[in-house]
Amino acid sequence: MNASADLRERYDVAVVGAGPAGLAAAGLCARAGLATVLLDEQAAPGGQVYRSVTASPLGTNTVLGPDYWRGAALAREALASDLHYVPGANVWGLLREGEIAVSLGSRSRLLQATRIILATGAMERPFPIPGWTLPGVMSAGGAQILLKSSGLIPQGRTVLAGCGPLLWLLAWQYLNADVRLDAVLDTAPRANWRNALRHAASFALSPYLIKGLRLILAVRREAQVIGNVAELEAQGSESVEAVVYRTSRGEERRLPVDMLILHQGVVPNANLALSAGVTHCWSDAQLCFLPVLDAFGSSNVPGLSIAGDGAGIAGAEAAEARGRLAAVAAIRAIKPQLVLAAEEKAARASLRRFERGRAFLDVLFRPPPRFRLPRGETLVCRCEEVSASEVLDAVALDCPGPNQMKAFLRCGMGPCQGRLCGLTVTEMMAQARGVSPQEIGYYRLRPPVKPVTLAELAGLPTTEAAVKAVARE
């Protein structure tokens, strides 16, 4: 492992993201003797699932659980190999074939790589309920990051709401840390259980079955879990004061809260891949756009592959396996004499094992339409403060797609660049027009996918061709 100062201009392989997929991919490439750079925007390796695993102030205590701490070995093993690990590196664009624009310490530079592996992971699905922008309303992933990286736990009246494995995991971790939960509001419709049953046989063989059941039962024993929650609203003026919920049986209650923590699953963090021109298709199973990839994660863009949850949500262990497969393809492309048959076989076996039963989880934790398709004054675009009714009004004016809607409403044009509204807008437009989300499409993304200052752009090295393009004779 090297220091970040002596970044080279050219590498065999550049890996973006140091979560399980990126660590596994970069480690394998480096061990095969490829010049490998691992670019990560965080200060420490681990991605979000193993966030701060080498730097957490919680040491090795029992709050976070053994599945978290297994990330430490993965990080140590990868970083022990001869790779160039660059923390605090903000990759803001893939500009042309093999060229990576990265911001590092308020300075941007361009790197070249023969192969690029994007391991940018997942982010949480938007959860647009009334009041979700109020201070005191936070995503479960965000709350868990505070726990992992700073040891912060909520105090005061705390309610968790939504569905998905992460919500239960966070509830369990909070109970381990003696946090009192006022309620867990479960928004997974009962029908999900019925629909998931046909995938139960494969899930019975999943390594996640026993773990998941233990987790949910432990939370149910210690916290008040309210099921079949069909409506949610956060209320308050300067910050959240209460959550109002209604169950599918029509029971309505108002709980005073200091913190409302929301979650309804994760989706690929796809802005960089989309901006590079990677073809994505709508997945009805995961309710998001997924990249179209071959069995090694290679995309339609030459030399560019995607590993980990950015290739489709499958969890940390599957991400690691996909990272190894992307690495195998990169190594073979650069050093054809290396066959790596055993590595490929082991990675495929691991991937099969951890993907088993994923369909069951997708159906069981499928967020219901009510929480994906907001109505009325509920904000869709948090940045530009565009409401659901404004989006639907634009559709009624024959606005054909999310990109045209920008001209109507500036929806998706704020600093988050559509990350917190993109899927909502696509699904709302699809439903209103009676077509598939695939037909509606997604925001057209362009670099920079993260904000950089003009000074950074101006400070980029200029080529002769670039000067000629703008200079007058």
Partner 1 sequence: MFRRHTEARRPALTIRIDGVATEAREGDSIAAAMLAAGHLIARKTPVSGAPRAPYCLMGVCFECLVTVDGVGNRQGCMVLVRDGMRIETQQGKREYGA
Burial string for 194-228 (b: 16+ CB within 10 Å, else e) reads eebeebeeebeebebbeebeebbeebeeebebbeb
Stretch that binds partner 1, among 59-67, 73-81, 306-314, 365-373 (CB under 8 A): 59-67
Binders in 396-415 for partner 1, by CB under 8 A: 414-415
Which 175-204 residues touch partner 1, going by CB under 8 A? Answer: 177
Q: Which is nearer to partner 1, 318 or 449 (CB)?
A: 449
Given 65, 151, 447, 459, the residue binding partner 1 (CB under 8 A): 151
Binding status of residue 48 toward partner 1 by CB under 8 A: yes
Report the nearest approach of partner 1 to the CB of residue 86 (Å). 15
Identify whether the C-beta of residue 307 lies closer than 8 Å to the C-beta of residue 22.
yes
Torsion sign over Cα 144, 150, 153, 154:
negative
C-beta of 464: minimal distance to partner 1 in Å? 32
Q: What does 91-109 look like in DSSP terms, one character per residue?
A: EEEE-STTEEEEEETTEEE
Q: Which of 155, 195, 403, 462 binds partner 1 (CB under 8 A)?
A: 155
Q: Is the peptide bond before 189 cis (omega within 30 degrees of 0)?
A: no
Shortest approach of partner 1 to residue 295 CB, angstroms? 29
Among 5, 9, 135, 468, binds partner 1 (CB under 8 A): 135
Site string for partner 1, 291-330 (x = CB under 8 A): ----------------------------------------
- Looking at the Cβ atoms of 206 and 264, the one nearer to partner 1 is 264
How far CA 395 is from CA of 375, 399, 445, in Å, comes to 14, 5, 21
Residue 218 CB, shortest distance to partner 1, in Å, is 19
119 binds partner 1 (CB under 8 A): no
SS3 letters across 322-372? HHHHHHHHHHHHHCCCCCCHHHHHHHHHHHHHHHCCHHHHHHHCCCCHHHC
Nearer to partner 1, 348 or 382 (CB): 382
Per CB under 8 A, the list member of 136, 297, 401, 412 interacting with partner 1 is: 136
Dihedrals phi, psi of 245, to nearest 5 degrees:
-130, 155
Please provide the DSSP assignment of 393-418 as one string.
HHHHTT--SHHHHHHHH-TT-STTTT
Q: Side-chain half-sphere of 34: how many Cα atoms within 13 Å?
A: 32
Q: Which residues bind partner 1 (CB under 8 A)?
A: 41, 43, 48, 52, 55, 57-59, 61, 63, 90, 123-124, 133-139, 141-143, 145-147, 149-156, 177, 238-239, 258-259, 269, 382-385, 414-416, 419-420, 450-451, 453
